[in-house]
């Protein structure tokens, strides 16, 4: 007979594989070369400064995920910066708090917000990059 704990662990593992993590815009960990290349190509860019313990970041994730499904945002290149471990990048982007979103149109910063969980204003921020 299958051990109950083993069955539960298997079920939870299967659910995690199916659901996967919530990632907005398929954001990649920040990579300076990829960021600079996207800027040079004039691409719309979103930088998300997040922390795993941040409730505001967790509230922003489904909003960004929904926006990522919108065809008008299909070309947005997104990067994530970890607030706890990437302090050098926080200084580079002049970020003081997690849940900061920074929108770029090529090399130009076109907007930023911190702590925003309003879907309409987050959409407006991302739209500035297009």
Catalytic positions, written as ranges: 54, 57
Euclidean distance between CA atoms 83 and 40, whole angstroms:
26
Contact 49, 5 (CB under 8 A): no
Pick the closest to residue 111 from 103, 100, 122 (CA basis). Answer: 103
Contact 86, 47 (CB under 8 A): no
Euclidean distance between CA atoms 65 and 22, whole angstroms:
7
Structure tokens at 57: 């970041």
Beta-ladder partners of 100? 49, 114
- Compute and round to an integer the Cα radius of gyration of the chain: 17
């Amino acid at each position: 007979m299958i051990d109950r704990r083993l069955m539960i662990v298997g079920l939870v593992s299967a659910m995690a594989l199916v659901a996967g993590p919530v990632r907005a815009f398929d954001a990649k960990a920040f990579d300076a070369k990829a960021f600079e290349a996207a800027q040079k190509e004039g691409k719309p860019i979103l930088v998300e400064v997040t922390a795993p313990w941040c409730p505001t970041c967790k509230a922003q994730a489904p909003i960004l995920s929904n926006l990522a499904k919108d065809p008008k945002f299909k070309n947005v290149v997104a990067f994530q910066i970890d607030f706890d471990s990437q302090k050098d990048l926080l200084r580079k982007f002049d970020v003081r708090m997690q849940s900061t979103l920074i929108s770029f149109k090529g090399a130009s910063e076109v907007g930023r917000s911190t702590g925003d969980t309003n879907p309409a204003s987050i959409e407006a921020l991302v739209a500035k990059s297009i």
